[in-house]
A and B are shown apart, each in its own frame.
Chain A
């Protein structure tokens, strides 16, 4: 997963939209997935997100996230499928375990919904700079800078910590810790001691960045501070309408079915 959610530079349609609109559009798409229980509709949402991803030049990454979400969904599916025993029986296994058509439909829908609801948000993170998200939140919605900063910093530090963790694993491998064991319990017990150096370095890093933020007048910021403005354009209306129409379709199909 390393680096998958990181910002990718570009100047596509999606890149140039207003950050707030992008967040809103992504959320509307997510909500749409839960409005309607048609598999085809959820597949359509995923399709639209993939196309949007390719148009912004990050299609490969979106696809990668999609496949890893599907794997996760598949595990959930296996867990669920045997516990829904109502409806038309497709396969009958020993010990009274039955796979039913309803169960299968419910589980596949759940797996796809998870993907459909996550992908638009992931795509949004890939085409929007963290500083722009916090900037727009502060400028347009007058969210106090303190909170906007905290959220975006937390997200920004994920890849930094992932890097740090890789370095720590490397350093411990050099001492002879065998990480490539197949046994997951053993692996977790090997990873636990590594949390200490990670914690220490994180606390140090956070202390450093808070000091440097304070020195640069962090506490003096208001929503009027900042050079960048985030005006709305026609393209933002277009993006929002695409998202709104998609979700509306979902709602409509949901009511009709």
Chain B
């Protein structure tokens, strides 16, 4: 689905990513984490085709991103930016979502239908003015305008920073539902609790290189993760490792709690 081979990229100030190889399957949910300035945003921009690699190549569904036109790329791959305000340029939610659709050539009655459906899915009022909404709401407006194009790949760059728990969960719930219905999701996030709850695969990025890569459980319970100063493993994973034994492979609070409940039920049963 997504294939990076020998990708290198640098800004005018110097190289950021060297010789990166990566493959992501269709329908996967991948979280990318790492310190500030590690090159996460740069990497997802390379994947989306917004930046073109200086050497090597990035393929989306078999097409080199260098050959993709803006319109086709937008249909294939949606990108939610760290800062929603850069994306929002219309004075009503309706127009904002409509603008995305007009960019990819959908208009008229079909567009109207999609706009209403998307707004309903995200619980947005189509008449409200985006710039007067809260950060979380604006993030949702930006997400709505990305989702309206119904992309096969969805890239989220720190979608939950600056949101309160409820807004954060609302957005993640929508993303998880989309993933369940087949959308490939790539999410950059510092919030390891969110990563533990939603991601299937985790990639830890540092200095333009992949240091850890694997399924969520193996990465989050990896001893080496605790040595990376910029990443804080989820509390439950740390607790599991401290307790050791059968707990050492657990990484969410629910897992530890249900394990404890199961044990005490067994004990009661035996007694």
Q: Which residues of A contact B (CB under 8 A)?
A: 164, 167-168, 170-180, 193-194, 196-197, 200-201
Contacts and interface: CB of A to CB of B under 8 A. Distances in A.
Given A178-B70, A178-B71, A172 B104 contact: no
Interface of B: 45, 48, 50, 69-71, 73-75, 78-79, 81, 83, 85-91, 99-100, 103-104, 131, 145-146, 149
Contacts of B86: 164, 167-168, 170-171, 197, 201
Given A167-B83, A170-B50, A200-B131, A176 B70 contact: yes
B69 A172 contact: no
- Chain A: interface secondary structure? helix
20 contacts: A164-B86, A170-B86, A171-B79, A171-B81, A172-B87, A173-B50, A174-B81, A175-B87, A175-B99, A176-B70, A176-B71, A176-B100, A176-B103, A176-B104, A177-B70, A178-B69, A178-B70, A180-B70, A197-B88, A201-B85
Contacts of A170: 45, 50, 86
Contacts, number: 64
Contacts of B131: 200
A176 B87 CA distance: 12
Contacts of A174: 48, 50, 74, 78-79, 81, 87
Contacts of A175: 74, 87, 99-100, 103, 145-146, 149
A178 B90 CA distance: 18
Contacts of A172: 87, 89
Contacts of B74: 174-176
Given A167-B86, A168-B86, A193-B89, A176 B149 contact: yes
Contacts of B70: 173, 176-180
Contacts of B45: 170
A197 B73 contact: no
Given A175-B100, A175-B103, A176-B73, A197 B89 contact: yes
B79 to A, nearest CB: 4
B130 to A, nearest CB: 9
B51 to A, nearest CB: 9
A25 B103 CA distance: 51
A194 B90 CA distance: 9
A180 B73 CA distance: 14
Contacts of B146: 175
Contacts of B83: 167
Contacts of A176: 70-71, 73-75, 100, 103-104, 149
Contacts of A197: 85-89
Contact of A171 (B87, B91, B149): B87
Q: Which of B48, B103, B104 has the most CB of A within 10 A?
A: B103
A180 B68 CA distance: 13
